[in-house]
Amino acid sequence: MIDPVVLLAFVPAALALNLTPGADMMFCLGQGLRGGPRAALAADVGIAAGCMVHVLLAGIGLGAAVAAAPWLFEAIRWIGVAYLLILAVQTLRAGPVVRDVPPVRPSRAFREALVVNLTNPKVILFVLAFLPQFVDPARPVLPQFLILGAVLSLGGLVINGLVGVFAGGAGRRLARSATAARWLGRISAAVFVGLAVRLALMQRS
């Protein structure tokens, strides 16, 4: 349902966007530092799933309602800010990740990543701004959105996963030191706070 030439033009554009450090990549990095490679990969899958939900909503027209209703945009944005701050506090209270403390469970990392992605209104606005450039209105719109969104999510899945796994491997080795582990917790919390501040200061375009 998509012109092969258009698809070939979309792939490098999506790849360039995936390679740009952003909230998704930083979240996978934070989960990898805290919980290891498995937690990072679970968070990566959660983010990809959330992205596809945004794509689906945009494809069926709900994204237009979010873009047109400032109160709805603001409500979702501040829910995301609050959730990220809660994650930061929980990370600090958890203390160092030493050998006798279990790491972040993949199921929990998946849920947290999914919630963070779904409560970030910038994602759906980005989808509405970027994907229509490659959509042919003469063809069914929803299938095109889903295909392009799948390509974008797959690229993010690979790149963010690599970032998280690398950070996770390093984090697990450093966790053998109590001092280093405490700093890992602080770094992870700082990542979550930074994402919350970024989301709070985000301007609606």
d(CA 35, CA 113): 13
Rounded to whole angstroms, the Cα distance separating 161 from 163 reads 5
**Dist. CA 167–CA 142, nearest whole Å:** 36
pLDDT given at position 46: 95
Do 171 and 184 touch, CB atoms closer than 8 A?
yes
**For residue 117, what are its two tokens?**
């992605």
Measured in whole angstroms, the distance separating CA 185 from the mean position of its chain's CA atoms is 20
Please say if the pLDDT value at position 136 is more than 70. Answer: yes
pLDDT confidence bin for 81, thresholds 50/70/90: confident
Tens of pLDDT, residue by residue over 82-128, are 877 887 887 777 655 444 445 678 898 999 899 988 887 767 777 77
- Burial of residue 100 (number of CB atoms within 10 Å: 0-12, 13-18, 19+): exposed
DSSP 131: G
Helices (H), 97-177: 106-118, 121-130, 141-174
**Tokens 């033009």 sit on residue:** 9
Long-range contacts of 132-136 (CB under 8 A, 24+ apart): 134/2, 134/6, 134/7, 134/9, 134/10, 136/2, 136/3, 136/6
Q: Determine the pLDDT at residue 205.
A: 45
18-27, 91-100, 127-136, 175-184: least confidently modelled range: 91-100
Give the pLDDT band (50/70/90) at residue 64: low
Please tell me the predicted confidence (pLDDT) of residue 101: 43
For residue 172 the two structure tokens come to 């697990």
